[in-house]
């Protein structure tokens, strides 16, 4: 068996989402002993400046220097594959991936590929305003012939409230707010929905999601296992609800 790569995680964006990614990686790995799991280095760095704040107004501190320094630190510690469990940080994906010499898993590209594999065509996006305005998911989906549908202004405000006012603040997510946003997107004809912010992934711990949802953090966990040479559990092949 080929030697497994050590995974390096640029964490802390947010901290609970990072912890959940590690949990998902462990749960998705088909392992019967400790030794069959991946070696993982987590650099939990919540001090990284807010990604959305910078994207919406570049007078705010840029997260890139911290992200790049963290990536290089992880590579220096022996990580053979990197990831960042923060969708909005992928605004800097080109600089980050070119700033290290090891593979860097692209969560957006992998999520789009997962939806394409299952024949989805019209995808509703739940993400930060930074992710939405930069068109990160829209571009990844368009490249595979899928179209993206965004929430209304009110729906986007509700999504940001769930992310910042509730999950990042350590409060339970509002099922009522989520139902309003997902209902709006499904009524617009979406055949699938993407939880396109890793904070939203934590919603699954509190409530059931409607059919057709795909969690980008679960996609990232799945791809990290395979990219590092780990064995994936068979029931992790289809991540759609």
Residues with a catalytic annotation lie at 86, 197
Residues forming beta bridges with residue 213, ordered by sequence position: 193
CA pair distance 189, 134, nearest whole angstrom: 23
Residue 105: strand, helix, or coil: coil
Q: Report residue 190 as tokens.
A: 């979406």
Residue in this structure with the two tokens 């088909």, named with its chain if needed:
30
Backbone angles phi, psi at 88, to 5 degrees: -65, -30
**Matching residue, tokens 């497994």:** 4
Write the Ramachandran bin of 116: left for phi over 0, alpha for psi from -120 to 50, otherwise beta: alpha
Cα separation, 180 vs 77, whole angstroms? 45
- Pick the closest to residue 219 from 232, 205, 206 (CA basis): 232
First to last CA, the chain: 33
Tell which residue, 205, 219, 196, 150, has the closest CA to residue 173: 205
Strand partners, 29: 232
């Amino acid at each position: 068996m080929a030697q497994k790569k050590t995974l390096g995680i640029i964490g802390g964006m947010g901290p609970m989402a990072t912890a959940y990614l590690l949990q998902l990686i462990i749960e998705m790995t088909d392992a019967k002993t400790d030794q069959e799991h991946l070696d993982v280095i987590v650099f939990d760095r919540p001090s990284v400046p807010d990604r959305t704040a910078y994207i919406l107004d570049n007078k705010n501190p840029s997260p890139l220097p911290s992200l790049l320094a963290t990536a290089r630190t992880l590579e220096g510690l022996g990580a053979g594959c990197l990831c960042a469990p923060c969708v909005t940080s992928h605004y800097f994906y080109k600089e980050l991936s070119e700033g290290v010499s090891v593979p860097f898993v692209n969560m957006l590209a992998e999520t789009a590929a997962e939806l394409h594999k299952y024949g989805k065509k019209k995808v509703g996006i739940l993400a930060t305003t930074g992710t939405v305005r930069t068109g990160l998911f829209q571009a990844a989906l368009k490249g595979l012939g899928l179209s993206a549908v965004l929430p209304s202004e009110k729906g986007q405000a509700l999504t940001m409230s769930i992310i910042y006012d509730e999950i990042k603040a350590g409060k339970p997510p509002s099922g009522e707010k989520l139902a309003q946003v997902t209902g709006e997107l499904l009524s617009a004809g979406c055949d699938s929905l993407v939880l396109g912010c890793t904070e939203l992934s934590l919603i699954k711990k509190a409530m059931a999601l409607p059919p057709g949802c795909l969690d980008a953090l679960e996609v990232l966990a799945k791809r990290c296992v395979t990219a590092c040479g780990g064995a994936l559990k068979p029931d992790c092949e289809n991540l759609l609800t």
